[in-house]
Amino acid sequence: MQSVDHAPATPWSLDLVRALEWKRFQEVCAVVFEHAGYCVEIVGQGEDGGIDLILTIPGGPEGEGSRVAVRCSAQGQRVGVILARQLQEMRIAFGCSQAIFVTTAAFTGEAEKYGAENRDLLLLDGPRFLEGILGMPQATQRELLALATEGDYTTPSCPRCGVKMERRRDKLGVNAGSEYWACGNLESANCLRTFPITKADPLAVR
Secondary structure class of 159 (helix, strand, coil): coil
- Binding segment for Zn ion (CB under 5 A), chosen from 10-18, 28-36, 97-105, 187-195, is 187-195
191 binds Zn ion (CB under 5 A): yes
Give whichever of 56 and 185 is closer to Zn ion, judged by the CB atom.
185
Give whichever of 78 and 164 is closer to Zn ion, judged by the CB atom.
164
Helices first, then strands: H and E counts in the chain: 6, 8
Q: Among 193, 195, 202, 204, which residue interacts with Zn ion (rule: CB under 5 A)?
A: 193
Minimum CB–partner distance for residue 45 and Zn ion (Å): 11
CA atoms of 193 and 162, how far apart (whole Å): 11
Question: For the chain, where are the alpha helices, taking DSSP H only?
Answer: 14-19, 22-35, 81-93, 109-117, 126-134, 138-149
Site string for Zn ion, 147-176 (x = CB under 5 A): -----------x-xx---------------
HSE of 113 in the Cβ direction (CA atoms, 13 Å)? 6
Question: What is the size of the binding site for Zn ion (CB under 5 A)?
Answer: 7
Give whichever of 47 and 89 is closer to Zn ion, judged by the CB atom.
47
32 binds Zn ion (CB under 5 A): no
87 and 99 in contact (C-beta within 8 Å)? Answer: yes
Amino acid at 200: A
Binding interface with Zn ion (CB under 5 A): 158, 160-161, 183, 185, 191, 193
